[in-house]
């Protein structure tokens, strides 16, 4: 009896020592760093296979990321494409040239206005006669029938239909205004198209994320099968499920991160290849538009996304297959 | 150290591998477990290592009742036990050092401590020069000694060995048994399953004898 109590005390002491060792933060971090490096080393040893898996993940990540960036650029383009989303404010004939100039200057200060161009009646007449071929008829007129026009381009946050129409209202209320016209239909259509595109990319993105999840899950499942013997032995000599799980989780995480980095390279390369023809096309429209990718922000988002997908995928695989391997 | 109280083990399908086994092995003792193949030696060891669970009866390890212990606590019990297998279950993609270090890594020892303890264990088993080799390049006897080093590196309270000399010639077998006796001398409890009767008779340790899942004869305390 006395002896058994002593044993109990000893075993309790043993327990406490074990617990202290496990909870020591330095050992904990050291262990995780070790497992993370081990998993990375294992991927490196099978680098061809690992790279192929990572490449498939990369393509699945690059597709939605690239499409989203294209859409983003398109939206930026629609916000700045002069002439198209602009508003024509026809002024009363009674407004003098200097008053029109003052008005243009004050309107330029409005927050919802990107830029204002004043087209004087003389300029309008000149343009009209050049384009219409009615020069002779116009010459026959005693005075210029055309009003002064403010060509207003809304600021980037005010291109959606509601804001643009509110801006039109504001112009209509000005005493100098005869008529404020907005090509609202065009803005509405573009917004609708972009909306569909955004929805489509979201759906594609979700499906491809699911594909990445399954891909990583399957890879980890194979890895677990390959290391069956090792799992059995480690469990036999006292490994907890957490210990057995850890290398596989890190393996999935690395796949995600690797895939994300390759995806980033793919997107950046794709945009680099597109940038020259796009600038060329924009040049034909007298625009200095160029593609933008925000490389570091993109890399950050891709890596975080890839990491989460990798962890989740391997977690699912590990949960399903690891418990089934028990020594017998 | 080990106490069996009316333990039975029935496998799914109805086959009763062990029936109503009771015995007590003192802390620091060393004993053999004998019997023909199929008598239940392996099953008995697996019950102690919690690889198999008892169907009936109570199993005490180091004063702790482990018959109904939860799955999550099993690893911590196993860390107090060194298990030596006939096929030694070494990992062939790792060096001798890494194989022996495994229990320490699992238990969360510090890096420096692991190196120190692994080398001490390898030294004790005469394997210090082989630490960088892969198990595949070693002889059968050396592989078995690596398996023993891995079992003792964690300084377990109990060593279990399932036919540790099954694949070895008599001289090597004697050498391995002498090693077990050495560990027993420093206070480790040792239970060895073996059907090598001549070798067991050479050595002066008690033996539990199993026959068709029942204890037939014993020199260890029977209860």
Looking at residue A128, which CATH number applies to its domain? 3.30.70.3040
Chosen from B9, B75, B121, B162 to mutate, greatest number of chain A CBs within 10 A: B75
What pLDDT score does A221 carry?
Answer: 93
Residues of chain B neighbouring A236 (CB-CB closer than 8 A)? 49, 51, 78, 83, 89
Nearest CB partner across the interface for A237, out of B62, B103, B108: B103
What CA–CA distance (Å, rounded) separates B157 from B83?
A: 11
What CA–CA distance (Å, rounded) separates B109 from A33?
A: 14
Determine the structural domain holding residue B136 and report its residue range. 2-218
What pLDDT score does B214 carry?
Answer: 86
Which residues, numbered 151 to 180 in chain B, qualify as contacts with chain A under a Cβ-Cβ cut-off of 8 Å?
151, 154
Task: Give the end of a domain, one of A161, A182, A203.
Answer: A182
In this structure, the number of other CB atoms found within 10 A of the CB of residue A111 comes to 7
Which residues, numbered 89 to 118 in chain A, qualify as contacts with chain B under a Cβ-Cβ cut-off of 8 Å?
none
Asked if residue B171 is part of any domain, the answer here is yes
Q: Which of B83, B87, B82 is nearest to B143 (CA)?
A: B87
Asked if residue A15 is part of any domain, the answer here is no
Is A238 at the interface with chain B, CB within 8 A? yes
Asked if residue A11 is part of any domain, the answer here is no
Say yes or no: A247 and A202 in one domain: yes
Say yes or no: A176 and A312 in one domain: no
Tokens at residue A106, please?
């004050």
Burial of B85 (0-12, 13-18, 19+ CB in 10 A): buried
Q: Report how far apart the first and last C-alpha atoms of chain B are (Å, whole number).
A: 14
Say yes or no: A61 and A139 in one domain: no
- Count of domains observed in chain A: 2
Asked if residue B169 is part of any domain, the answer here is yes
Say yes or no: A236 and A145 in one domain: no
Q: Are B176 and B108 in contact (CB under 8 A)?
A: no
What CA–CA distance (Å, rounded) separates A307 from A299?
A: 12
Q: Where are the beta strands (DSSP E) in A111-157?
A: 113-119, 149-154
Asked if residue A326 is part of any domain, the answer here is no
Asked if residue B22 is part of any domain, the answer here is yes
Nearest CB partner across the interface for B102, out of A18, A30, A234: A234
How many beta-carbon pairs under 8 angstroms link A with B?
A: 78
In this structure, the number of other CB atoms found within 10 A of the CB of residue A230 comes to 20
- At a CB cut-off of 8 Å and minimum separation 6, what does B217 contact? B207, B209
Tokens at residue B113, please?
């401590």
Each residue's pLDDT tens digit, B82-119: 999 878 789 998 999 999 999 998 888 888 889 999 99
Is B129 at the interface with chain A, CB within 8 A? no
Asked if residue B74 is part of any domain, the answer here is yes
Helix (H) or strand (E) holding A211: helix A184-226
Each residue's pLDDT tens digit, B60-78: 998 889 988 888 889 999 9
Say yes or no: A199 and A258 in one domain: yes
Provide ipTM, 2 decimals: 0.87
Say yes or no: A73 and A105 in one domain: no
What pLDDT score does B221 carry?
Answer: 46
| pLDDT for residue B158 is more than 70 | yes
If DSSP codes are grouped into helix, strand and coil, which group holds residue B108? Answer: coil
Say yes or no: A203 and A313 in one domain: yes
What CA–CA distance (Å, rounded) separates A221 from B48?
A: 31
Helix (H) or strand (E) holding A47: helix A47-80
| pLDDT for residue B22 is more than 60 | yes
Half-sphere exposure of B131 (CA within 13 A, CB side): 19
* Mean pLDDT (chain B, rounded): 88
Please, what's the b/e burial string for B19-38 (b: 16 or more CB within 10 A of its CB; e: otherwise)?
bebbbebebebbbbbbbeee
Asked if residue A216 is part of any domain, the answer here is yes
Determine the structural domain holding residue A315 and report its residue range. 30-78+193-321
What pLDDT score does A7 carry?
Answer: 53
What pLDDT score does A187 carry?
Answer: 66
Asked if residue A12 is part of any domain, the answer here is no
What pLDDT score does A84 carry?
Answer: 53
Say yes or no: A208 and A68 in one domain: yes
Each residue's pLDDT tens digit, B118-148: 999 999 888 999 999 999 999 888 998 999 9
Q: Are A92 and A176 in contact (CB under 8 A)?
A: yes
Residues B6-18, mean pLDDT to the nearest whole number = 88
Q: What is the DSSP string of A266-317?
A: HHHHHHHHHHHHHHHHHHHTT--------HHHHHHHHHHHHHHHHHHHHHHH
Q: Give A40 to chain B, closest Cα distance, Å.
A: 16
Task: Give the end of a domain, one of A182, A212, A230.
Answer: A182
pLDDT tens, residue order, chain A (328 aa): 444 555 555 555 656 666 665 666 667 787 788 888 988 998 898 899 999 999 999 999 999 999 999 888 887 776 654 445 678 888 888 888 888 888 888 888 888 888 888 888 888 877 777 766 666 777 777 777 788 888 888 887 777 767 878 888 888 888 888 888 876 667 667 778 888 999 999 999 999 999 999 999 999 999 999 889 889 999 988 898 888 999 999 999 999 999 999 999 999 999 999 988 988 888 887 777 788 878 888 899 999 999 999 999 999 999 888 888 887 7
Task: Give the end of a domain, one of A159, A182, A205.
Answer: A182
Say yes or no: A167 and A245 in one domain: no
Is B65 at the interface with chain A, CB within 8 A? no
Q: Are A168 and A87 in contact (CB under 8 A)?
A: yes
Is A328 at the interface with chain B, CB within 8 A? yes
What CA–CA distance (Å, rounded) separates B33 from B42?
A: 9
Asked if residue A328 is part of any domain, the answer here is no
CA-nearest residue to A11 within chain B is B62
Half-sphere exposure of A40 (CA within 13 A, CB side): 9
Residues of chain A neighbouring B106 (CB-CB closer than 8 A)? 234, 237-240, 243
Each residue's pLDDT tens digit, A21-76: 566 666 778 778 888 898 899 889 889 999 999 999 999 999 999 999 988 888 77
Which residues, numbered 37 to 96 in chain A, qualify as contacts with chain B under a Cβ-Cβ cut-off of 8 Å?
none
CATH of the domain at B206: 3.40.50.300
Say yes or no: A201 and A309 in one domain: yes
| pLDDT for residue B222 is more than 80 | no
- Count of domains observed in chain B: 1
């Amino acid at each position: 009896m006395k002896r058994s109590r002593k044993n109990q005390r000893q075993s309790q002491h043993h327990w406490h020592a074990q617990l202290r060792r496990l909870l020591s933060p330095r050992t904990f971090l050291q262990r995780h760093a070790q497992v993370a490096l081990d998993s990375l080393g294992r991927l490196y040893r099978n680098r061809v296979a690992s790279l192929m898996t990572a490449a498939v993940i990369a393509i699945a990540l690059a597709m939605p990321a690239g499409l989203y960036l294209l859409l983003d650029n398109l939206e930026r383009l629609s916000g700045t494409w002069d002439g198209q989303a602009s508003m024509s404010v026809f002024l009363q004939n009674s407004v003098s040239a200097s008053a029109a100039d003052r008005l243009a200057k004050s309107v330029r200060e409005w927050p919802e206005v990107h830029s204002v161009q004043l087209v004087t009646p003389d300029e309008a007449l000149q343009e009209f006669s050049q384009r219409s071929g009615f020069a002779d008829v116009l010459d026959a007129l005693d005075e210029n029938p055309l009003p002064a026009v403010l060509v207003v381009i809304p600021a980037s946050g005010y291109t959606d239909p509601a804001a643009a129409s509110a801006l039109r209202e504001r112009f209509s209320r000005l005493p100098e205004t005869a008529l404020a016209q907005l090509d609202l239909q065009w803005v509405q259509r573009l917004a609708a198209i972009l909306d569909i595109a955004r929805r489509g990319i979201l759906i594609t993105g979700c499906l491809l994320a699911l594909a990445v999840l399954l891909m990583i899950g399957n890879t980890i499942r194979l890895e677990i099968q390959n290391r069956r013997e090792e799992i059995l032995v480690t469990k036999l000599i006292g490994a907890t499920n957490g210990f057995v799980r850890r290398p596989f989780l890190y393996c999935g995480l690395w796949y995600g991160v690797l895939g994300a980095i390759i995806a980033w390279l793919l997107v950046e390369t794709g945009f680099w290849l597109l940038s020259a023809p796009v600038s060329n096309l924009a040049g034909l429209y007298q625009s200095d538009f160029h593609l933008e990718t925000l490389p570091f922000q993109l890399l950050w988002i891709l890596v975080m996304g890839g990491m989460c997908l990798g962890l989740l995928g391997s977690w699912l695989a590990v949960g399903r297959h690891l418990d089934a391997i028990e020594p017998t | 150290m080990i106490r069996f109280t009316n333990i039975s083990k029935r496998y799914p399908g109805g086959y009763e591998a062990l029936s109503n086994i009771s015995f007590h092995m003192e802390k620091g003792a060393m004993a053999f477990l004998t019997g023909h193949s199929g008598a239940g030696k392996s099953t008995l060891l697996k019950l102690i290592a919690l690889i198999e669970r008892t169907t009936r009866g109570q199993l005490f390890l180091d004063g702790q009742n482990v018959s109904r212990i939860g799955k999550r606590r099993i690893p911590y019990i196993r860390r107090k036990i060194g298990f030596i297998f006939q096929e030694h279950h070494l990992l062939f993609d790792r060096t001798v050092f890494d194989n022996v270090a495994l229990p320490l890594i699992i238990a969360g020892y510090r890096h420096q401590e692991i190196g120190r303890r692994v080398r001490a264990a390898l030294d004790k088993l005469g394997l210090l020069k082989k630490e960088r080799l892969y198990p595949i390049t070693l002889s059968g006897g050396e592989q078995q000694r690596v398996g023993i080093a891995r079992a003792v590196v964690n300084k377990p309270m109990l060593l279990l060995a399932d036919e540790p000399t099954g694949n070895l010639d008599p001289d090597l077998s004697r050498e391995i048994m002498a090693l077990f006796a050495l560990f027993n001398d420093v206070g480790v409890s040792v239970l060895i399953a073996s059907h090598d009767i001549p070798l067991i008779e050479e050595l002066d340790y008690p033996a539990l004898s199993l026959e068709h899942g029942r204890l037939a004869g014993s020199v260890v305390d029977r209860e």
